[in-house]
Amino acid sequence: MDPDALRRSGKVLERALRNAFRKIDSGERSGLAVADSVEQAILEEARNAFPCNVGVDHVAAHFSPTDTETADFSSGKLVKIDAGAHVDGWISDAAFTYVLDDFYVSVARAAYEALSEAVHAIRPGMQVSEIGKVISDVAKKYGVRPISNLGGHEIKRYNLHAGLFIPNVPEGRAVIEEGMQIAIEPFMTDGRGYVNNGPSVTIFSLQRARARTPLAKKVLSHIEKEYGPLPFAQKWIEREFGLQGRMALFELAKLGSLHQYPILMEQKGAAVGQFETTVVVEPDGAEILIDVFDLVSW
């Protein structure tokens, strides 16, 4: 691990998320505008580890706005902003929820408090189920549900989801070890507590180098050079290659060259809140790399 590079990526991401929070607080309601601002802020000092996700209301994860699907949230309940930065492959990952309708503040506040309690509870030797219990206990306190099929994850260099899964419910026997880098990611909802795949995909990652048409080969070469194994956005390809770039993505996905990340959604009408940060497990606790806690005051 390169602690200096990792901490730099965390600080870059923290500044980008603060900027996004201020942008929304000042009245911005275009998810595309917010995502673009986050991604551009990261690029000033680092690289994007994945596209900025904008989750409005029941959309939980894996939606990155496009130039045609801008994710306007002017009439929304709440919106989640989830982003990642990397320096030489050392990734930081964090998210916050902005409440648009005070009726849903408990959903966001539960995610916030669950994150705070979870990161302060981390110790080497803990089973992941213990973190899940901390998170689910906070959910009960607020009368909401944790999303059982979403959670945190171990991170390694150039590998956003490196194997260890940190559940939001008390299950799993895997053990947290000293030196691990993990993202803790409570998702809370007033819905059923489970997400399904939505109808579209706006985020992809490289799976294997195989293409047929000249354009698809050109797009594939660009993906290999610019993003490597990390996720990238449909809009990034469209802005580089025009609308034909989208057709190339579909061709590459059909060939199995790209992994697709379907939008993850709770039931329609539900609200989903999320807070997330990245930590490094130390002998007696965890170092928090991105401070999302003073973005909001309850």
- List 185, 190, 238, 266, catalytic entry: 185
> Within this chain, do residues 256 and 177 fall inside the same structural domain, yes or no?
no
Which residues on adjacent β-strands are paired with residue 279?
182, 288
The answer to whether 165 touches 128, Cβ cutoff 8 Å, is yes
Q: How far apart are CA 168 and CA 134, in angstroms?
A: 8
> Within this chain, do residues 171 and 212 fall inside the same structural domain, yes or no?
no
Q: How far apart are CA 107 and CA 128, in angstroms?
A: 23
pTM for this model (two decimals) = 0.96
Per the annotation, the verdict on 161 as an active-site residue is yes
Per the annotation, the verdict on 67 as an active-site residue is no
The per-residue pLDDT for range 8-31, each reduced to its tens digit, is 999 999 999 999 999 999 999 999
Per the annotation, the verdict on 284 as an active-site residue is no
User: Average pLDDT in the 285-290 region?
Assistant: 97
Q: How far apart are CA 246 and CA 202, in angstroms?
A: 10
**Which CATH number do you get for residue 46?**
3.90.230.10
> Within this chain, do residues 239 and 257 fall inside the same structural domain, yes or no?
yes
Task: Count the Cβ atoms, other than its own, within 10 Å of residue 226.
Answer: 14
Residue 241: which of 231, 232, 249 has the closest Cα?
249
> Dihedral through CA 255, CA 261, CA 262, CA 266, nearest 10?
160
> Which residues, 6+ apart, have CB-to-CB distance to 285 below 8 Å?
120, 122, 123
- Would residue 215 count as lying in a domain? yes
Maximum separation of any 2 CA atoms in the chain, in Å: 57
> Within this chain, do residues 24 and 140 fall inside the same structural domain, yes or no?
yes
- Would residue 298 count as lying in a domain? no
> Within this chain, do residues 222 and 143 fall inside the same structural domain, yes or no?
no
Domain with 285 in it: 3-195+271-291
Q: What is the pLDDT of residue 297?
A: 77
- Would residue 296 count as lying in a domain? no
> Within this chain, do residues 129 and 277 fall inside the same structural domain, yes or no?
yes
Q: What is the pLDDT of residue 163?
A: 85
The per-residue pLDDT for range 112-131, each reduced to its tens digit, is 999 999 999 999 999 999 99
- Would residue 72 count as lying in a domain? yes
With bands split at pLDDT 50, 70 and 90, how would you rate the model's confidence at 132?
very high
- List 14, 57, 153, 238, catalytic entry: 153
Q: Which tokens is 245 given?
A: 């770039």
- Would residue 281 count as lying in a domain? yes
Q: What is the pLDDT of residue 239?
A: 97
> Within this chain, do residues 162 and 227 fall inside the same structural domain, yes or no?
no
- List 88, 161, 171, 259, catalytic entry: 161
Q: What is the pLDDT of residue 248?
A: 96
The answer to whether 154 touches 172, Cβ cutoff 8 Å, is no
- Would residue 123 count as lying in a domain? yes
Per the annotation, the verdict on 88 as an active-site residue is no
> Dihedral through CA 93, CA 231, CA 82, CA 121, nearest 10?
-30
The per-residue pLDDT for range 32-81, each reduced to its tens digit, is 999 999 999 999 999 999 999 999 999 999 999 999 999 999 999 999 99
Q: What percent of the chain clears pLDDT 70, i.e. is strictly above it?
A: 100
Residue 201: which of 150, 264, 271, 248 has the closest Cα?
264
Residue 47: which of 77, 89, 82 has the closest Cα?
89
Cα 89 off chain centre by:
16
Per the annotation, the verdict on 294 as an active-site residue is no
The per-residue pLDDT for range 211-255, each reduced to its tens digit, is 999 999 999 999 999 999 999 999 999 999 999 999 999 999 999
With bands split at pLDDT 50, 70 and 90, how would you rate the model's confidence at 97?
very high
The per-residue pLDDT for range 146-174, each reduced to its tens digit, is 999 999 999 999 999 998 999 999 999 99
- List 39, 82, 251, 266, catalytic entry: 82
The answer to whether 176 touches 124, Cβ cutoff 8 Å, is yes
E strand residue ranges, 59-99 = 59-61, 78-87, 90-99
> Within this chain, do residues 14 and 96 fall inside the same structural domain, yes or no?
yes
> Within this chain, do residues 164 and 210 fall inside the same structural domain, yes or no?
no
Provide the number of structural domains found in the chain. 2
**Which CATH number do you get for residue 233?**
1.10.10.10
Angle at alpha carbon of residue 276, lines to 272 and 277, rounded to 5°: 175
Q: What is the pLDDT of residue 27?
A: 98
The per-residue pLDDT for range 259-268, each reduced to its tens digit, is 999 999 999 9
> Within this chain, do residues 27 and 42 fall inside the same structural domain, yes or no?
yes
Per the annotation, the verdict on 266 as an active-site residue is no
> Within this chain, do residues 133 and 220 fall inside the same structural domain, yes or no?
no
- List 93, 154, 190, 251, catalytic entry: 93
> Within this chain, do residues 173 and 234 fall inside the same structural domain, yes or no?
no
Q: How far apart are CA 298 and CA 288, in angstroms?
A: 21
- Would residue 297 count as lying in a domain? no
With bands split at pLDDT 50, 70 and 90, how would you rate the model's confidence at 298?
confident
Q: What is the pLDDT of residue 209?
A: 87
- Would residue 139 count as lying in a domain? yes
Residue 16: which of 33, 32, 40 has the closest Cα?
40
